[in-house]
């Protein structure tokens, strides 16, 4: 069924107006797939992206050492066995260039490019209640008039670039990892500062250590880490994974976090200390996120279990700093800080050993916080100026809500999503927001895809659900879909109840929005399990989308 296209004139700076059935913002993992699905449905659809290439996260995050922490065999699209088998990853956790190449390959193979407009920043999207359509404008002044607006903008795509006073006074180069220059940055022999030791900072630090002249790492909150085991994949290896395509496709939809592993170790309480240790050792050796997402779920809710698992990881970390034990306090979380896994656990490769190099200094910026950037470098609260040539800001993102809040989105009665989310971040299962008909979201707050999931699993599931919902409404002759207030209220309540039982809500991190001043505190991602979330979404679809009013 094709839409009756809107024909009334819409003014714009350039005069150019594009009329669409559906518009996708973003051309990363979710955007590419959403474009493909809606085009297959016969809709007139186009995707728009600020970047000059496709890939989303994998376009922007080209900093040294960028790679994912999900194994290549599950960081995949599941709609085509042929596609899965036709691309062969070179290792278990491929680096950014390979993943960017893969997404370009997907775009070519599905012939998506002709419907993607790159180098186009979306600045506003206003809903016209009378017509039941969205008027979207670009930075260049183009207008897109669309029935459905699907935001696939990414949950970690709004980099926190203006973090410190005085940044513009710096005489050297400053780069945020999420906006890393395509042409690269020459770090050879330079005095480099890295601010931030999250998953990104760790990858940068361990990768650039052999090139830099000297490095100062500004450490505020130490991390629990797991050493990555990253074997190369041969053609035969990939054929083996390919032969498991259907099994893996089914498995990742059912597990807690969209991986192929799950909490299968059995209850903590029923195990002896030796048995628990054996489970932890085995998962530690796996060199993946399995220690976190496939060991003991009790660690998320029970202080004692959390402390026992945390102590195990601390012990492993301490062994590696034996030659400089004075570093332990700065680089290893203490039991008073937070528990293992209550925020994102990074995988690493000889990260701690970097601090044993003579030319590397760990600066304790909890004790002496960064005050400002000065022309020579970074000034800390103890009055010291750390002189450097290059500052790498691995300081993170306005996660989940940031990408959408940076667009002037206005729904019914001209209500502003940004203003609304400044008060309280709410969504209906991360798929829609009450008050914004025909706006659908992926990777948005209050769904597992906002943080607690293997991204490809959860993003595809959301795209499939959105596509099904749009199809259903059109088949039933409906023009608009909008999550009801009651449905959204009940989801938010359920989300909060599940979250409140966990220790995650007690830990400061981007999961709780605490990395952005003034951001309302709420767990950004649904923590009731991706498998449960997927089942709930399937039930809603099967029941004819109760909670999503169609008119």
Sole binder of ligand NAP in the list 35, 192, 199, 537 (CB under 6 A): 199
Closest contact distance (angstroms) between CB of 220 and ligand NAP is 3
CB 341 within 8 A of CB 223: no
Are the C-beta atoms of 32 and 54 separated by less than 8 Å?
yes
Print burial letters for 302-318: b (CB count within 10 Å at least 16), e (below 16): beebbebbbebbbebbe
Q: Would you say 37 or 67 has its CB closer to ligand NAP?
A: 67
H helix runs in 72-212, sequence order: 81-86, 96-109, 199-208
DSSP state of 79: S
SS3 string of 377-440?
EEEECCCCEEECCEEEECCCECCCCHHHHCCEEECHHHCEHHHHHHHCCCCECCCECCCCCCEE
Closest by CA to 429, choosing from 402, 447, 443, 449, is: 447
Rounded to a whole number of angstroms, the minimum distance from the CB of residue 514 to ligand NAP is 8
Q: How far is the CB of 365 from ligand NAP (least distance, A)?
A: 5
**Considering the rule CB under 6 A, would residue 372 count as an interface residue with ligand NAP?**
no
Which segments of 129-188 are extended strands (E)? Answer: 133-138, 143-151, 173-176
Q: Give the integer Cα–Cα distance in Å for 134 and 127.
A: 4
Looking at 85, 131, 175, 220, which residue binds ligand NAP (CB under 6 A)? 220
Residue choice 34, 146, 147, 203 for contact with ligand NAP (CB under 6 A): 203
> Per rule CB under 6 A, is residue 409 in the interface with ligand NAP?
no
User: Please, are residues 21 and 147 in contact by the beta-carbon 8 Å criterion?
Assistant: yes
Q: Considering only 1-9, 216-224, 299-307, 543-551, which stretch makes contact with ligand NAP by CB under 6 A?
A: 216-224
Q: How many residues bind ligand NAP (CB under 6 A)?
A: 25
| Region near ligand NAP per CB under 6 A, out of 200-208, 261-269, 384-392, 433-441 | 200-208
Pick from 55, 154, 198, 443 the residue near ligand NAP by CB under 6 A: 198
| Interface pick for ligand NAP out of 33, 68, 355, 545 (rule CB under 6 A) | 68
Query: Of all residues in this chain, which one has the CB nearest to ligand NAP in the complex?
Result: 198
- Check residue 321 for interaction with ligand NAP (CB under 6 A): no
Question: Can you tell me which of 50, 137, 138, 197 binds ligand NAP, judged by CB under 6 A?
Answer: 197
- Provide CB contacts within 8 A for 155, sequence distance 6+: 399, 400, 403, 443, 444, 449, 450, 451, 524
Note whether 84 binds ligand NAP by CB under 6 A. Answer: no
Q: Which is nearer to ligand NAP, 23 or 194 (CB)?
A: 194
Least separation in angstroms between residue 144's CB and ligand NAP is 30
Of these, 149, 152, 352, 365, which contacts ligand NAP (CB under 6 A)? Answer: 365
Out of 201, 258, 287, 339, which residue is the one contacting ligand NAP (CB under 6 A)?
A: 201
According to the binding rule CB under 6 A, does residue 259 interact with ligand NAP?
A: no
The answer to whether 370 contacts ligand NAP (rule: CB under 6 A) is: yes
The interface region with ligand NAP, picked from 63-71, 132-140, 208-216, 327-335 by CB under 6 A, is 63-71
Centroid of chain to Cα 20: 28
Among 6, 49, 69, 348, binds ligand NAP (CB under 6 A): 69
Nearest approach, Cβ of residue 164 and ligand NAP (Å): 7
Q: Using an 8 Å Cβ cutoff, are 31 and 49 in contact?
A: yes
Of 33-41, 191-199, 305-313, 543-551: span binding ligand NAP (CB under 6 A):
191-199
The reply on whether position 310 binds ligand NAP by CB under 6 A is no
- Helix (H), strand (E) at residue 540: helix 530-542
Nearer to ligand NAP, 200 or 460 (CB): 200
Which of 279/453 has CB closer to ligand NAP?
Answer: 453
- Is 395 a binding residue for ligand NAP by CB under 6 A? The answer is yes
Distance CA 352, CA 202 (A): 9
Indicate the burial class of 114 (C-beta count within 10 angstroms; 0-12, 13-18, 19 or more): exposed
Residues 94-133: x where in contact with ligand NAP by CB under 6 A, - otherwise, as a string: ----------------------------------------
Residue owning tokens 């809903």: 127
Site for ligand NAP in 485-514 (CB under 6 A): 510
Residue 102, classified by CB atoms within 10 Å of its CB into exposed (0-12), middle (13-18) or buried (19+), is: buried
Nearer to ligand NAP, 396 or 411 (CB): 396
The least CB distance from residue 310 to ligand NAP, in Å, is 16
What is the Cα–Cα distance from 146 to 35, expressed in whole angstroms?
14
Residue 31, by phi and psi: left (phi above 0), alpha (psi -120 to 50) or beta? alpha
Query: CB count, 10 Å around CB of 541?
Result: 15
**Where does 110-214 have alpha helices with state H?**
199-208
Name which position in 25, 149, 156, 299 contacts ligand NAP (CB under 6 A): 156
Measured from the CB atom, is 29 or 156 closer to ligand NAP? 156
Q: Which is nearer to ligand NAP, 199 or 327 (CB)?
A: 199
Would you give the distance in Å from CA 426 to the centre of its chain? 18
Q: Which stretch binds ligand NAP (CB under 6 A): 39-47, 61-69, 84-92, 490-498?
A: 61-69
For ligand NAP, which residue of 27, 200, 401, 441 counts as binding (CB under 6 A)?
200
Question: Do 21 and 45 contact (CB within 8 A), yes or no?
Answer: yes
208 closest CA partner among 191, 227, 187, 229: 187
Q: Which residues bind ligand NAP (CB under 6 A)?
A: 67-69, 156, 163, 195-201, 203, 218, 220-221, 344, 365, 370, 394-397, 510, 515
């Amino acid at each position: 069924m094709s839409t009756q296209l809107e024909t009334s004139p819409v003014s714009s700076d350039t005069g150019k107006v594009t009329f669409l059935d559906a518009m996708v913002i973003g051309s990363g993992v979710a955007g590419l797939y959403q474009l493909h699905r809606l085009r297959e449905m016969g809709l007139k659809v186009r995707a728009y992206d600020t970047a000059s290439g496709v890939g989303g996260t994998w376009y922007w995050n080209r900093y040294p050492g960028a790679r994912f922490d999900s194994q290549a065999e599950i960081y995949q699209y599941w709609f085509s066995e042929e596609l899965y088998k036709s691309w062969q990853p070179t290792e278990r956790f491929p680096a950014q260039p390979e993943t960017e190449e893969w997404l370009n390959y997907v775009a070519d193979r599905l012939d998506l490019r002709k419907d993607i407009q790159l180098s186009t920043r979306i600045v506003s999207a206003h809903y016209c209640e009378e017509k039941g359509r969205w008027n979207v404008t670009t930075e260049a002044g183009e207008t897109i008039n669309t029935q459905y607006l699907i935001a696939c903008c990414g949950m970690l795509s709004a980099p926190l670039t203006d973090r410190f006073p005085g940044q513009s006074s710096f005489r050297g180069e400053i780069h945020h990892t999420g906006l890393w220059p395509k042409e690269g940055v020459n770090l050879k022999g330079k005095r480099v500062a890295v601010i931030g030791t999250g998953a990104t900072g760790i990858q940068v630090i361990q990768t650039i250590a052999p090139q830099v002249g000297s490095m100062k790492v500004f450490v505020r909150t130490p991390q629990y880490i797991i050493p990555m085991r990253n074997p190369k994949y041969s053609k035969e290896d990939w054929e083996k994974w390919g032969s498991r395509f259907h099994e893996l496709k089914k498995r990742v939809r059912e597990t807690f976090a969209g991986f192929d592993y799950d909490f299968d170790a059995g209850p903590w309480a029923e195990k002896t200390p030796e048995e628990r240790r054996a489970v932890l050792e085995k998962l530690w050796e796996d060199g993946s996120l399995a220690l976190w997402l496939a060991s003991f779920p009790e660690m998320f809710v029970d202080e004692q279990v959390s402390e026992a698992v945390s102590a195990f990881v601390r012990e492993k970390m301490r062994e590696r700093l034996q030659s400089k034990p004075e570093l332990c306090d700065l680089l290893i979380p203490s039991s008073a800080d937070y528990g293992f896994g209550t925020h994102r656990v990074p995988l690493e490769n000889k990260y701690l050993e970097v601090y044993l190099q003579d030319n590397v200094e760990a600066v304790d910026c909890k004790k002496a916080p960064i005050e400002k950037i000065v022309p020579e470098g970074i000034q800390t609260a103890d009055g010291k100026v750390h002189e450097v040539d290059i500052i790498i800001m691995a300081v993170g993102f306005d996660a989940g809500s940031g990408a959408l809040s940076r667009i002037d989105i206005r729904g019914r009665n001209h209500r502003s999503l940004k203003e609304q989310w400044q008060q309280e971040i709410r969504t209906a299962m991360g798929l829609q927001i009450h008050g914004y008909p025909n706006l659908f979201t992926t990777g948005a707050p209050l769904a597992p895809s906002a943080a607690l999931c293997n991204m490809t699993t959860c993003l595809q599931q959301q795209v499939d659900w959105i596509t099904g919902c749009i199809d259903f409404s059109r088949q039933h002759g409906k023009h608009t879909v909008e999550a009801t207030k009651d449905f959204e209220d009940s989801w938010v309540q359920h989300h909060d109840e599940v979250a409140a039982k966990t220790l995650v809500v007690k830990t400061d991190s981007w999961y709780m929005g605490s990395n952005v001043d003034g951001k309302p505190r709420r767990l950004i991602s649904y923590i009731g399990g991706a498998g449960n979330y997927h089942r709930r979404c399937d039930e809603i679809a099967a029941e004819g989308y109760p909670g999503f009013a169609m008119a």
